[in-house]
Amino acid sequence: MKQHYINGKTGISYTLQGDYYLPNLTLPLEENKPIGIWGQRHLRYIRQYRKVFYTNLLTSGKLNGYLADIDRQAEELFFRLVEQMVELEGITEKLKAEQPMEWVGKMNALREAAVEIVNAEVIFA
């Protein structure tokens, strides 16, 4: 039978496991927000290269909100960059109608350039 103990000073409850009292700790609840591809990339990055930062976010219950915010920022930057690059390069609907393969090639190049910028500025910063 498990015995419980509550520390009067801290209010933390403990459960007897063998010869040791272990604290009954839980993570704070956080709002579950959807996280897209950019947030998932950033999550992989901070898990691997910024472990203390990741652990602090996780244990404070702010990880999901932080990743959702990063995802939103990266998505907005990506679309803004693509729009600006399309204007600068002069890629039009006319080109799309007349030479679809050339249009696809140019758009893919612009999208890849925008992905690299977003990665450098937001995801791996």
Is 70 a residue whose pLDDT tops 80?
yes
Cα 51 from Cα 43, distance rounded (Å):
10
For the CA atoms of the chain, what is the radius of gyration? Answer: 24
Compute the C-alpha angle 55/21/10, nearest 5°.
65
| pTM of the shown model | 0.76
Is 1 a residue whose pLDDT tops 50?
no
Give Cβ neighbours of residue 60 (< 8 Å, ≥ 6 apart): 28
CA dihedral 14, 15, 21, 25 (to 10 degrees): -50
Looking at the DSSP assignment, which residues form a beta bridge with residue 22?
15
Reported confidence tier of residue 8, pLDDT bands at 50, 70, 90:
low
